Structure 1
Amino acid sequence: MIIRDVAEADWRQIWPFLRQICRDGETFSYPTDISEELARDFWLLAPPNRTVVAVDEAGVVLGTAKMNANQMGNAGHVASASYMVDPAHSGKGVGRALCEESLRWARERGFRAMQFNAVVASNTHAVRLYESLGFRVVGTIPEGFHHPALGYVGLHIMHRAL
């Protein structure tokens, strides 16, 4: 697996699984009917932020991540990131590799911490992954996310010092 900066041509592989993940409505707070244009604007970040893809040796996009400052100004020393793994490639370490890359990126740029603002509590795979990488839940917004099958569930804020 190779992790590299996203290229314009990668979008045609990202969009189908990003659209499906949003449509499923189980893990992201993006609109379930998100348009391609809005999704592209949300996901493909310009420097100094960064969007990457994880690809296999054939160039197939396995997953993607975006990295950025969580806030601006005097709170700009905390990074954030989001990850999407093509469901066809889940369970293969893609999410872990993308998260590790975002942590490396944040450290290199002098961020002091990384914070995830909205980790759906019922997304136990993601919560376990983040905890295994040193993140901890610092707060939960009760019923902060409306899951299509489970109803209202908590929305975790997760943090890790760098």
Structure 2
Amino acid sequence: MTSGRAVIRPATPADHAAIWSILEPVYRAGETYCIPTDITRDEALADWFAAPFTAFVAELDGRILGASHVGRNRPGPASHVANASFVTHPDARGRGIARALVTHAKDWARAQGFRAMQFNFVVSTNADAVHSWQKAGFDIVGRLPGAFLHPQHGYVDALVMFHDLTGEQP
């Protein structure tokens, strides 16, 4: 591993504690994911590692600072569209972890034969994520008015974001 550069690798059961330490405060805050704020560790990890998704971690200088899971969005005739979720440790801000995770997710999805990637439910008040995904080439293609009950802002919009993977080279 090169110091200063994130390495993305498949997640293993040995990573569960590190992944949960990043997921738990995000899920408990209830501001960005459609996950019950009282989800248990085992339920959260089972969800994160559930098929059809493949889980990954981002390591920087030997420390796990982020995680993703990538897989098909829907089965059947829509199975060529991938979906992904991302979570980063607060210490990862400004260190390129989110960018490395989304770049890896796009490259991995393309290598698996996916033609596009869609984020079904990006909470509109999650400005950092919206900005990061737009910077990574995702477009807002839909808005779901008042679809998310934010603990501080009340009902806020959720965004559907989409990226065509076919015209991009890794």
TM > 0.5: yes
State the match for 1:135 in structure 2.
138
CA distance in 1, matches of 2:67, 2:79: 23
Residue type of the alignment partner of 2:59: V
Unaligned runs of 5+ in 1: none
Classify the secondary structure of the residue corresponding to 2:39.
coil
Cα shift at 1:161: 0.5
State the match for 2:85 in structure 1.
82
CA distance in 1, matches of 2:113, 2:65: 28
State the match for 2:150 in structure 1.
147
Q: Quote the sequence identity (%).
A: 42
Residue type of the alignment partner of 1:85: T
State the match for 1:49 in structure 2.
53
CA distance in 1, matches of 2:75, 2:136: 25
Cα shift at 1:94: 0.6
State the match for 1:97 in structure 2.
100
CA distance in 1, matches of 2:29, 2:121: 17
**CA RMSD, 1 decimal:** 1.1
Cα shift at 1:45: 3.7
Deviates more, 1:63-72 or 1:5-14: 5-14
CA distance in 2, matches of 1:112, 1:119: 20
Question: Taking structure 1 as the reference length, what is the TM-score of the superposition?
Answer: 0.95
Cα shift at 1:90: 2.0
Question: Taking structure 2 as the reference length, what is the TM-score of the superposition?
Answer: 0.91
Residue among 28, 31, 39 paired with 2:33: 28
Residue type of the alignment partner of 1:118: F
Number of residue pairs the alignment of both structures matches:
160
Residue among 16, 20, 40 paired with 1:15: 20
TM superposition outliers: structure 1 runs of 4+ over 4 Å: none
